Amino acid sequence: MRCPEQGMGMRVIGSIVPVLRSKLDLIVNNNFFLWNIFGNIGPLFIALFCVPYLYRSGSSEYVGYLTIIWAAIGYTGLFDFGLSRALLYYAALSKSDHGISLYRSIRKASAFSILVAMAIAALVLPFRDEIMARFAVANADQVGALTVVVVSLPVYLISNLVRASLEGLEKFKEANIFKFLSYSSLFLCPSLLILAGDASLLNVCIFYALVRLAACGYAVAMLLPHIRESAAQAATKIPVSMKRIIAFGGWATVSSTISPLMVYGDRFVLAYYTGASSIAIYAILQEFIGKTILFSSSYVAAIQPRMSYLSEAQSVALYRAEKRNVVQFSMIIYLGCLLVAPFFVAVWLGVSVGEVALLSAIMSIGFLFNSIAQAPYAYLLARGQPRRVAYAHVTEAALYFPLLIFATVHYGVAGAAAAGMLRMIFDYGILSWTARRPIA
């Protein structure tokens, strides 16, 4: 005879299994989402093998400056002033508005990016020695690496524009092959060079630029057939004005500048008020749990173009349906994080479960809301509302940083984690409220 508790447990399991099966079917049948997973998470598997090899084989100085180069390349997107996000929006819009000349819009944005890159080079290169001296860099190899990154900036900027245009046209296979090649090279190039006995950062940066150029060439070849115009078509189409592209991109840049500061600012505040030694476990847990955001961001990125070119009513209906899906699989993912992360990190770092359990629970709750917030965030950008997102993030930052400092000073690491959790809950709330407001 079964006890009542056993029967209740079986009923709970029986109710969960169909939900898990339906979500798995949703993922397996969504090719766009699977390609986004390939482009975003595939390089991380390569990093799992390459990073330990680099750490063991390269000097601490080499690895340290290599991570700085990774960060510099990763944030080259800031220098396009949001043009890649703008082109993604207008590329998607061109699928319903056939009067938009995406080809000429991309040409204008690329010319602007080249001018920006030339201006940065003109500001940085004449003073590179002084800049590197401020960071206590006297190594000619490191100075040469910086020079190559700056000189190759046009390649990085234009490749971002082309990749965003492919995503806007829902060419996710081509866009994510580009991303996989580009991001995997960050780990493969230095690993292969060290394997060949070459520990030069200058050569690493040269190979980075060459791989990105080749990946950009592939992306352009995939994009051109979809945007090429005949003389007759060109006469009936107009490019989006640079004023509109820069206006969209400018507001998107506000968000893309503030968001990383809020995401990583807690580590600097912790290091300042409690010492750098206190952030090790905190940062590792944050990275481990935070990387799961790639699942929800990959999912909503697959539907963002459709929310741009559909009618307002259809877009709202799609947003509401897909938001429910994001909520459901986010709850499954972060319940798993809540249960697994403390034990995984404890075994990995050789610490007790008690040392990481509280932080893991707080961060799992916070990232649950951050994951769900990807849906209203994508919807607002898809409907051409980057200004609303920027206002939300400015408000969020103004409230968050004083709270973070207060919580860190009085409650240490746990306080910083709790402040981050409240920020992510607020982020979800304000973006969801903003998404519900009528769009003129």
Q: Coil, strand, or helix at residue 247?
A: helix
**C-alpha of 389 from chain center:** 16
Contact (Cβ atoms closer than 8 angstroms) between residue 192 and residue 50: no
As a whole number, mean pLDDT of residues 67-87 equals 79
Over residues 109-163, the pLDDT tens digits come to 888 888 888 888 888 778 777 766 665 555 778 788 888 888 888 999 999 999 9
CA distance 339 to 356: 12
CA 179 to chain centre: 12
pLDDT-derived band of residue 208, with 50, 70 and 90 as boundaries?
Answer: very high
Cα–Cα nearest to 266, from 68, 67, 66, 421: 421
Alpha-carbon Rg for the chain in angstroms = 23
Where residue 290 falls among pLDDT bands split at 50, 70, 90? Answer: confident
CA 426 to CA 247: how far, in whole Å?
A: 26
pLDDT category at 312 given cuts 50, 70, 90 is: confident
Banded pLDDT at 276 (limits 50, 70, 90): low
Q: Which residue has the tokens 């209906």?
A: 317
Query: Apex CA 113: angle with CA 109 and CA 115, to 5°?
Result: 120
Q: Token pair of 247, please?
A: 């206006």
The three-point CA angle 58-60-63 to 5° equals 65
pLDDT for 79 beyond 70: yes
How far from the centroid of its chain's Cα atoms is residue 343's Cα?
27
Residue of higher predicted confidence among 276 and 92? 92
The burial of 374, by beta-carbon neighbours within 10 Å (0-12 exposed, 13-18 middle, 19 or more buried), is given as buried
pTM: predicted TM-score of the whole model, two decimal places: 0.76
Domain residues of the chain, as ranges?
42-240, 253-440
